[in-house]
Amino acid sequence: MARTRYAPDRGLTGRMVTTMFLIGLLYVVFIGVLLALFQNAWPMVLLLAGGLFVVQFWFSDRIAAYSMGAREVTPQQAPELHATVDRLCALADMPKPRVAIADTDVPNAFATGRSQEKALVCATTGLLRRLEPEELEGVLAHELSHVAHRDVAVMTFASFLGVLAGTMTRFALWGGVARAGGRNNNTAILVLLIPLVSALVYVLSFLLTRLLSRYRELSADRGAALLTGKPSALASALTKVTGDMARIPTRDLRQAEAFNAFFFAPAFSKQSLSSLLASHPPLERRLEQLARISRELGRP
């Protein structure tokens, strides 16, 4: 982690290293299996895998911003938002990221980017309308903690394997198998194997990213609370955002749900409330941690 005033988190660092190693190992195994299955089309496999990696890693911030309808704003367009980010970056002694706003009533925020210099922090109009200045500061400090600890870049890389698995499955089923398989028997085997291998890879990468995602949210809460010295403001924002999420139309929540791993709070639709593999820890656990930090700091 580049030096900032955010409290270091060895637990997060250890989990990120472990996740990167396992995801990298899974990536190598997956590419090896694809090369074995597509022996006659190995240049296409390498080109597709390499191209997707470059796009995912180098353009992930733009892809996420575009998908969420986020637009970068200047200090003249959003003076209060920029002022809060400026103050937090000065407090944390870190470079200021690009600032964006997403026009949606879903109250949330996210950070993306492969480094502190390339980072983007986005707040939704729904969040800006609902939160008090101290609450917004807590949420933005949470997102900047993700940037400072570089777990945003790790999550971007970790999610790449699931994208690759899905793309390779479509590539196989939409014509790649027919060109690379040769005879009909081989083609039939490949048609069965590719989706199975891709599904297995997707499930394993999904589990790894979910385990890391839950811990990194607790780490960001802790980092924000210690940096601002106002854990109660962050707890208030969490309670308010989570409570208001139930009032958002299901259609809007479904559109945002794909980005849960990057959000400040999960945008769960009603159908996914019982999910056992949530991207975020339970609200009660996050509030309990903030209450403990508040007691340690001697704050109300």
Neighbours of 129 (CB within 10 A): 10
- Binding site as annotated, residues for Zn(2+): 142, 146, 217
> What is the model's pLDDT at position 242?
83
**Mean pLDDT (10-residue bins), the chain, 300 residues:** 79 90 81 74 76 74 77 94 96 94 89 85 93 95 94 78 67 54 57 72 80 90 94 93 64 49 56 58 91 84
> What is the model's pLDDT at position 124?
93
- Binding site as annotated, residues: 142, 146, 217
> What is the model's pLDDT at position 136?
96
- Exactly one of 143, 257, 284, 296 is catalytic; which is it? 143
> What is the model's pLDDT at position 42?
74
> What is the model's pLDDT at position 271?
45
Q: Is 143 a catalytic residue?
A: yes
